[in-house]
Chain A
Amino acid sequence: MLTQRLLLSDRGGMIVLGLIALTAVVVPILNLAVPAGSAFHVSTYTVTLLGKFLCYALLALSVDLIWGYAGILSLGHGAFFALGGYAMGMYLMRQIGDRGQYGNPELPDFMVFLNWDALPWYWQGFDMFWFAILMVLLVPAVLALVFGWLAFRSRVTGVYFAIITQALTYALMLAFFRNEMGFGGNNGLTDFKDILGFPITASSTRVTLFFMSAVMLILAYLACRYIVTSRMGRVIVSIRDAESRTRFCGYKVESYKLWLFVFSSILAGIAGALYVPQVGIINPGEFSPLNSIELVVWVATGGRGTLFGAIVGAFAVNYGKTIFTSWSPEAWLFVLGSLFVLVTLVLPKGLVGLVGRFKRNNNTPTDTPALKPAEETH
């Protein structure tokens, strides 16, 4: 019954998840088992690129959950992504040990360079993987909890909320740029050697990270489906459409927004943590407001309010970006900007909506509602 509710009633989601699962199985085989000379070989570069896209898709999913369903437009979600990434990066830094340029077993290179003689308190514990993972989940969650509590309690909504989230990520970026913060300043954290004892650049490690990203994306997708198909999901949609009426029905709107925001920030943090070991670097640029805006464009392009749309959008825009930036890097921002304008004007439901429209034109129109009754399936 749960499968019916989470998957079978969600055709597009099933297709997208199926493709991800297929890629997660086939790509590792083509990379590891097929010899490099063969036409079927998938290079490690491609594996990493796909792994990166999977992390972006997870990030897009987290934004779609709050923007598409609850109508909370966060223009600072990149901050949670970056914080998750930094937590993972700190673990990877500690794993370098004495293999750094200065050979200090305790301190990362940049601290030696700054003439620090001891590890700051907030770096303690990051040599343990479980602790780092805990922080990946906790740091974004706590920030979202405090920030969301203040914002939602004061009934900050719409464009005002978007602006202060933008300010949040900008402030964090400036803070992380400072060397004295102890997060590597401008350069961020990089030169990672290994993760859990496995060399980080090895194909097998890359493939495992790619596979983990796919698994996390699928799990996160199912968790989001669980939320949006529950009664809570319906309450959230009501808040989006008629906030005061929902309050009048006896729901405490602030709590709903807050917990959804926290959950979304955790997903973003996980995405960041999976992203960093694959790209091998995390720096304050990830906090850049532009990143967060770009991420909203992915969701809009894919189609907000359908969870799989966010995944489709993340893949489509980033694939386009990869192609485009190798061709003409300067023009990318203009493309991104016009994409946002175009999508808003022409494709309010995104690529997913376009497919839906195309399908309706082919088939005979029916009166049956698109939404399957949810209450009788569980």
Chain B
Amino acid sequence: MNIFTQARRTLGQNDPNFGAPLDTTHGPILYVEGVTVSFDGFRALNNLNLYVDEGELRCIIGPNGAGKTTMMDVITGKTKPDSGSVYFGQQINLLELSEHQIARGGIGRKFQKPTIFEALTVYENLELATAADKRVWWTLTQSLNSSQRYRIDEVLVQIGLAELRHHNAGALSHGQKQWLEIGMLLMQKPRVLLVDEPVAGMTGEETEKTAELLVSLAGDQSVIVVEHDMKFVRSIARKVTVLHQGSVLTEGTMDQVQNDPKVIEVYLGE
């Protein structure tokens, strides 16, 4: 990448979705504080506090019903909490924004089931997701500029699909589809990636590759992974948060967490 594209990207001029640079001077990029969500009296989240640093790779585990999905829903604007606050950087109050604003603002979410455009090629899928002018006239008359195309090539390498770029996405394996969808999120230039059970249904080899991919993504963006597969979590985790009954049970390295008697009791002991 030449110095100009690098400079442009740092300044965010390439992307209309990034206005002011995100204020992360205090460390965390995401602040979830005292969030409570109840559904018909059931507290899905109960005074949840979570801080995710910029560039961090965080794994979130917890038994079923611990509130993992609800937490993602709150961050991406799908569910509004009863109380508490959610900040993106120090300035942006996510509770005031709608889903697509949050998506455009830089929080990408990957759902459990891969959704890609099967009739298009791998390349075209990424092209579609590229942060560019998305109005009708521009998509009709303008093709992507060279730095955008360069970015697609970069992402293709990152997700390990460079050789399959002209293959139809519908013909990809389950794992490859998951990677392609992660790639599509990357094209939107997210600052935070929320990834829901990325290795469900994957083969051992695919799981390994996914682990590598997620580890390599952290640093440039914060990655939050919700996963059941403990072996997988162990292979990527630096810091693990255990949720239980809607709040944080404990936080720490995988070893600390695994040896925590509270955790053993509610989760690992099962």
Which residues does A use to contact B, with CB under 8 Å? 227, 230-232, 234-235, 237-238, 240-242, 245-252, 255-256, 259, 369, 371, 373-375, 378
Contacts and interface: CB of A to CB of B under 8 A. Distances in A.
Contact of B149 (A246, A249, A374, A375): A375
B115 interface: yes
B125 to A, nearest CB: 8
Contacts of B124: 234, 374-375
Contact of B120 (A237, A255, A256): A237
A373 B122 CA distance: 11
Interface string B109-131: 00000011111110110011101
Contact of B123 (A227, A230, A247, A375): A375
B103 A255 contact: no
B128 A373 contact: no
Interface stretch (B6-14, B135-143, B261-269): B135-143
Contacts of A231: 127-128, 139-140, 142-144
Contacts of A241: 117-119
A238 B117 CA distance: 6
Interface in B141-163: 141-144, 149
B140 A242 contact: no
B100 A250 contact: yes
B43 interface: no
Determine which residue in A250, A259, A369, A371 has the highest number of CB atoms from chain B within 10 A of its CB, and name it. A250
B156 to A, nearest CB: 12
B115 A245 contact: yes
Given A234-B127, A371-B168, 16 more contacts: A230-B143, A231-B143, A235-B139, A238-B117, A241-B117, A241-B119, A247-B100, A249-B129, A252-B134, A259-B136, A369-B167, A373-B121, A373-B165, A373-B166, A374-B124, A375-B124
B104 interface: yes
A245 B100 CA distance: 11
Given A369-B167, A375-B149, A255 B128 contact: no
Contacts of B233: none
Contacts, number: 81
B184 interface: yes
A374 B166 CA distance: 10
Given A230-B140, A231-B143, A248-B100, A375 B118 contact: no
Contacts of A235: 128, 134, 139
A248 B99 CA distance: 9
A374 B168 CA distance: 13
B154 to A, nearest CB: 15
Contacts of B135: 252, 255
B188 interface: yes
A234 B134 CA distance: 12
B134 A250 contact: yes
B118 A227 contact: no
Contacts of A251: 134
Nearest to B184: A249
B163 to A, nearest CB: 12
Contact of A230 (B119, B141, B165): B141
Contacts of B149: 375
Contacts of B121: 369, 371, 373
B19 to A, nearest CB: 16
Contacts of A249: 128-129, 134, 184, 188
Contact of B140 (A227, A246, A375): A227
Contacts of B104: 250
